[in-house]
């Protein structure tokens, strides 16, 4: 019943990520949508993440047989059906009931990895058990190192083989678009409370009958009664982050984690090289979706110099602003091993639950396939910078 409620004709007929975004905007309350959309301060970095793609043009080959096209990639020793995976996004449980499970199931069905956020509203064990597929676990470096160690141990015992450490959030960015919706810590103002009433479908899906969802992995960090996504959990989380985070902490995590370790938040070649020296298996170039340091470069801006420094020695991934298959192709041509999708699949989740995420993945895959054919490149592994021109 719930799947039919969301998986309507709007989602199935969406032709682009932008159309899924429009559906999502109608289907969830304003405060939820603005949490997904908002960037830091004047949102210059948020817009830079999209603008950068218009500065790179394709230079296609012609008279090439592209009857067969391949977009499969090897990533950290495993095959992925496409050159992208789904990155960690918080508060998914406010967009669709058990949203983290829905995203994980969609990723598993598509044969791509999914990075489960530490602030999920379903426990990591339940997501692994119910979704299957290739699940990675994201974690912040909290002041309470014992809790970080506990999350790592739980992930390992659940069968998760890859840990993703987010390093660009030692301090919270100033997200004005999001915080203006509240009259106090996570207390909606009257305008947004009235807007919630205008979304009975969302109320039935999210709030009925248990009320606001809770952060399922943070009980030992936040304490009893503090884990509701509506309560003071966000501000407490901000206080729990550690501004003293350094490479020594990464070395400590590497020492206790037996699986693959990814460092997310790298934005220059020197840090990428340092990641190799501390034993990381991969990096994610990221400005946190434009939600942290406003005025920062896009990950696409720094990708070529990072690839020149570390390509072949460590997996190089990136995120930020990817809305089209052509964006992904440009990143791979510049040397990226894979791209992490954030808002693109989150729009799908908000628009139609698991069906919406599946549609977002389908759109991206079909666009990549078409771009490869029109470029005259039958195999994504053959892409290089000769297919691009800076404009």
Residues annotated catalytic, as ranges: 288
Quote the radius of gyration of the chain (alpha carbons, Å). Answer: 20
Q: Provide the H-helix boundaries in 223-318.
A: 233-240, 247-256, 269-277, 299-310
Q: Provide the H-helix boundaries in 169-228.
A: 176-179, 190-197, 200-202, 219-222
Is 295 within 8 Å of 45 (Cβ atoms)? yes
Spatial distance between the Cα atoms of 150 and 146, rounded to a whole number of angstroms: 6
Spatial distance between the Cα atoms of 265 and 241, rounded to a whole number of angstroms: 15
Pair of tokens at residue 255? 């020492």
Question: Which residue in 165, 167, 324, 186 sits closest to 253, CA to CA?
Answer: 165
- Residues written for the chain: 391
Spatial distance between the Cα atoms of 145 and 220, rounded to a whole number of angstroms: 12
Q: What pairs with residue 304 in β-bridges? A: none
Question: Which residue in 19, 14, 214 sits closest to 97, CA to CA?
Answer: 214
């Amino acid at each position: 019943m719930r799947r039919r409620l969301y998986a309507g004709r709007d989602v199935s007929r969406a032709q682009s990520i932008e159309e899924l975004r429009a559906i999502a905007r109608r289907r969830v309350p304003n405060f939820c949508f603005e949490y997904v959309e908002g960037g830091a301060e004047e949102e210059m970095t948020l817009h830079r993440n999209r603008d950068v793609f218009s500065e790179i043009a394709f230079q296609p080959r012609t008279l090439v047989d592209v009857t067969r096209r391949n977009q499969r990639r090897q990533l950290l020793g495993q095959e992925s059906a496409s050159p992208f995976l789904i990155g960690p996004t918080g508060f998914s449980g406010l967009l669709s009931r058990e949203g983290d499970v829905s995203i994980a199931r969609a990723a598993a069905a598509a044969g791509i990895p999914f990075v489960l956020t530490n602030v999920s509203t379903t426990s990591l064990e339940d997501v692994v058990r119910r979704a299957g597929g290739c699940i990675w676990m994201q974690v912040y470096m909290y002041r309470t190192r014992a809790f970080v160690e506990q999350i790592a141990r739980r992930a390992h015992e659940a069968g998760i083989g890859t840990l993703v450490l987010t390093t660009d959030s030692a301090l919270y960015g100033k997200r004005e678009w999001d915080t203006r919706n509240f009259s106090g810590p996570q207390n909606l103002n009257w305008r947004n409370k009235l807007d919630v009433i205008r979304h009975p479908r969302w109320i039935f899906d999210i709030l009925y009958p248990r009320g606001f969802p809770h952060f399922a992995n943070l009980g030992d960090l936040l304490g009893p009664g503090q884990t509701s996504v509506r309560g003071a959990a966000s501000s407490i989380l901000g206080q729990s982050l550690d501004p003293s985070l350094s490479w020594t902490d990464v070395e400590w995590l590497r020492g206790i984690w037996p699986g693959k370790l990814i460092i997310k938040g790298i934005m220059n070649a020197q840090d990428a090289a340092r990641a190799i020296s501390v034993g990381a298996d991969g990096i994610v170039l990221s400005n946190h979706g434009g939600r942290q340091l406003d005025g920062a470069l896009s990950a696409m801006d720094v990708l070529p110099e990072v690839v020149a420094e570390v390509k072949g020695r460590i997996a190089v991934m990136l995120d930020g602003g990817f809305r089209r298959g052509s964006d992904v192709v440009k990143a791979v041509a510049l040397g990226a091993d894979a791209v992490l999708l954030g808002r693109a699949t989150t729009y799908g989740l908000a628009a139609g639950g698991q069906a919406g995420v599946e549609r977002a993945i389908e759109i991206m895959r079909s666009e990549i396939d078409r771009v490869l054919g029109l470029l005259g490149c039958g195999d994504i592994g053959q892409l290089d910078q000769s297919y691009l021109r800076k404009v």
